[in-house]
Structure 1
Amino acid sequence: MAEAKKARAFAKVQRPRLYEQLMQQILAFVEAEQLGPGDHLPAERELAEQLGVSRATLAQALVALEVLGVIDVQHGTGAVLVHRPSVATVLRELREHKNRLPDIVEARSTLEVKLAALAAARRTEADLRKIDHALEVMAAEIGEGGRGERGDELFHEAITAAAKSAVLQKLMTFIAEMVLETRIESLGQPGRPERSLESHLKIADAIRRGDSTGAAAAMGEHIEMVSDVALLRDGR
């Protein structure tokens, strides 16, 4: 009986996910090479070959490091080290980030679905021009091989402004930093920028028609899609 109780007291040990292992190896490389802020990491193709993984798998680790502010990834320049933290610090921050992701998704679903509905009812021609401009910026970024982060940000800002709700706008400003985390993470998923742009076009079309119900539904689908990120999946 005592042995049975003792066995039940232990929790199942979770193996680190592959991208977590890759993060540790990348940080070990940074430490071994004594890289400092402003130094470049090897190109993705070279790094993937050295680690023996696909570039898609490596991208998950790099996106996680970018979200945590360890590196900055820019199209055309690759990954640049921002600061050199300890492995323990990064893994702790990664767990904290993962734990708050569901709350960020919940907040976005609540606020942005309502904002889309209000935007459809209250938008002006000037608002529609700003929405169209954001779509053009995002399409151009993706066309040049980028992730469309600036266009994505402009699009959601334009919808928030079109809703004409001062209180909801303040709430969106309050969670802006957290939304930035999910934006980087989501648009770092393979094929996600293109899918996100298509989703934006659907939302914009409903707003242009003045269809509040359709705009809300399209935004709800969009938030659900962009919230599908590696950190919240059960698989490794």
Structure 2
Amino acid sequence: MRDATAPISFTRVSRPRLYEQLVEQLLSYIESRQLGPGDVLPAERDLAEQLGVSRATLAQALVALEVLGVIDVQHGTGAVLVYRPSIATVIKGLREHSSRLPDIVEARSTLEVKLAALAASRRTSEDMEAIDSAIAAMEDEVKAGDKGAHGDELFHQAVTAAAHSSVLEQMMAFIAEMVLETRLESLGQPDRPEQSLASHRKIAEAIRAQDPQKAAEAMQSHIELVSDVALLK
């Protein structure tokens, strides 16, 4: 007969983070309502009130679901369900996403800082027009109440093109899907779209002035800003 009082080595059970708990509740809500692809979730204000959390906290959970492709947050419509996964699958995906974020940030810092410096040295007037156009597109999105994700993507593509480095451009294309994860995560932070837009302008001005050092410094500051996300805290 085994001694039940004998010491046993247990693995410490980690307490789920708040956004994981909210994600579980949101998925339970979706399941209980039998929502399917194309159905729209209640407004953030109503969901936050029902869950007893702030809208900012709820927004983090919605961003996490958007990053994983479970929902599509559309300006003017709200959170639209793309597919209905199991809770276990989503939590596993969230933890995998969280664990690879530092590597994605590291890759962006390494590549995009160099690209900004090269863009300052090599940019043409046409390149500047593309960079300015991307900033204007993001500004229009943000003014309309959107996150500005499309304009953000256009800006970084324009800076990459202005560097005129075919190998670095291919490397950026290779990590494009992973960068999209950090873009959605970052722009989902409170006030982040406006902050990101402002840092884009600083990068653009350094490239316009053809100052590689300032362009690199501005891009590094930008990467540090967009890397400040809830999943890394």
Q: Could you state the TM-score of these two structures normalised by the residue count of structure 2?
A: 0.96
Q: What is the CA-CA distance between 1:187 and the residue it aligns to?
A: 0.2
Letter in 2 for 1:89: T
Residue type of the partner of 1:74? Q
Q: Counterparts in 2 of 1:20-169, with a 5 A limit? A: 20-169=20-169
* Letter matched to residue 191 of structure 2: G
* RMSD of aligned alpha carbons: 1.1
C-alpha distance 6-123 of structure 1, shift in aligned 2 (>3 A):
farther
Structure-to-structure mapping, 1:171-186, within 5 angstroms: 171-186=171-186
CA apart distance, 1:126:
0.1
Shift of 1:134: 0.4
Cα distance change on mapping 1:127 and 1:11 into 2, 3 Å:
same
1:221 match: secondary structure: helix
CA distance in 1, matches of 2:28, 2:41: 12
Where in structure 1 do 4 or more consecutive aligned residues deviate above 2 Å?
A: 9-13
Deviation at 1:6, TM superposition (A): 5.2
Cα deviations across residues 99-132 of structure 1 (Å, max 9, x unaligned)? 1111100000000000000000000000000000
Distance 1:11 1:215 in 2: 48
Unaligned runs of 5+ in 2: 1-5
Structure 2 equivalent of residue 18 of structure 1: 18
Distance 1:13 1:112 in 2: 39
Distance in structure 2 (CA, Å) of the matches to 1:113 and 1:105: 12
Cα deviation for residue 14 of structure 1 reads 1.8
* Matched length: 228
What secondary structure sits across from 1:189 in the alignment? coil
Among the aligned pairs, what percent are the same residue? 71
| 3-state SS, counterpart of residue 69 of structure 1 | coil
For structure 1, the 5+ residue unaligned runs are: none
Q: Distance in 1 between matches of 2:86 and 2:15?
A: 20
The equivalent of 2:216 in structure 1 is 216
Q: How far apart, in 2, do the equivalents of 1:94 and 1:110 lie?
A: 25
TM-score (ref. length: structure 1) = 0.95
Structure 2 partner of 1:231: 231
Amino acid across the alignment from 1:191: D
**Structure 2: distance between partners of 1:92 and 1:20:** 10
How far the C-alpha of 1:10 sits from its partner, in A, is 3.6
Counterparts of 1:10 and 1:131 in 2: how far apart (Å)?
55
Render the CA deviation track for 1:33-65: whole Å, top value 9, x for unaligned. Answer: 100000011111110010011100000000000
Paired residue secondary structure (1:80): strand
User: Alpha-carbon deviation of 1:217?
Assistant: 0.6
Partner of 2:193: 193
Matched residue type, 2:13: V
Q: Which moved more, 1:11-20 or 1:106-115?
A: 11-20
